[in-house]
Amino acid sequence: MRKWIVGAGLLYVLYGLFFYWYLFLTGDSSVPEGLKGTSADPATFMNQRELMLTEEYSKIKDFLFFVRIPFEWFLFFILLIAGLSKKMKHWAEQTSKRRFIQIAVYVFSLFLIVTAASLPLDWISYQFSLEYGISTQTTASWIKDQVIDFWISFPLTAGVVMVFYWLIKRHEKRWWFYAWCLTVPFTLFLFFLQPVVIDPLYNDFYPLKNKDLEQHILKLADQADIPANHVYEVNMSEKTNALNAYVTGIGANKRIVLWDTTLNKLDGSEILFIMAHEMGHYVMKHVYIGLGGYLLLSLAGLYVIGTIYKWMISRYGSRLHIAGKSDLAALPLLLVVLGVISFAVSPFTNAVSRHQEKAADQYAIELTENKEAAVSTFQELSKAGLSEANPPFLVKIFKYGHPTIMERIQNVEKASNE
């Protein structure tokens, strides 16, 4: 057990050292020679202090991102190899004879351990965002969000785990397929619920206060043949200086949402460009395409996860103190397999997302016919969030669901020349 723990710890340290070396010492985020002096060059729209802060903050943020991902895998491995997961299961079984209560108790204990162990990294990330002027959130508000995260994630996860163990007992060989069948209505339900139940727990949403701007946005929506009555704004300035807008929900609960920071820092033409971008997602049905793609990917993913989970238990079950696939103590192993698979496919899902975002940008350029507003919008997004215009390759493929700022501005310039 000690050798496995030391080996896993050493592997995690080497992983962290690799990304430190890659991000701080060798990762290339420089501006290509041919783009220097153009509108895509940060030196043309940022001052020296902003350039320095962007470089520093991006490296720290990216490093924390990569270190945070496998931290939970390492923690789950320790719980398994040390027999702690098995002890947690026995304790949960002593609390009640009812299986669903045992599962709820075990998941609650696991969530407490993960939350407590991850808190230092989350706190460090929060402090850096404060130090670099990205976050404006008070400590009390940050803690409140952590508590909300816990009490949303815990019951949802506990419910999913209960269904998982029920399926694996009833349908040992094809549990993954029946799980996917249940995933479809569950995902649709969450998509429908999020704008009106979950999101308001974190922030206040209300119809756009600037009625003149709203009329311009609705007129733009009418040009795009989009049925829209209201645009919503959210008071994100209490938490961040970054800018954003997005489309959320499905059916009657679909919303276009603007952060108030976006309203405060961008002019009318830039806001209209952002709105046109979000309308592009609607017109091209990206929400539904993304949802359909997710469901198809989850079908293949559940099959792969089920296969690896079964193989891991047959090969290492005794060493990890797992009695079988339906053993509650095996949950950390399932979460590790799920996490690794999700991380492995993220370059693919991010690439699809970047393609959709590029298409929405192109749609917005054509709808507004204002390329200058497009360029200035991307420049302001980069400045407000201290975002690198040209991040290193691994950062782009694993983190970026949007094209880089440099790519987005280049795409606008190409459109201008066509």
Which active-site residues does the annotation give?
Answer: 278, 361
β-bridge pairing 255-259 and 245-248:
antiparallel
| CB contact burial 350-360 (16+ within 10 A = b; e otherwise) | beebbebbebb
Angle (CA) 160-166-168 rounded to 5° is 100
Rounded to 10 degrees, the C-alpha dihedral 262/263/268/272 comes to 60
CA angle 416, 39, 390 (to 5 degrees): 110
User: Is 281 annotated as contributing to ligand binding?
Assistant: yes
171 is in an annotated binding site: no
H helices of 40-138, in order, are 48-81, 84-95, 99-131
The answer to whether 106 and 92 are in contact (CB under 8 A) is yes
Distances (CA, A) of 202 to 114, 189, 245, 246, 395: 22, 19, 16, 16, 28
List residues forming the annotated binding site.
Answer: 277, 281, 357
List residues forming the annotated binding site for Zn(2+).
Answer: 277, 281, 357
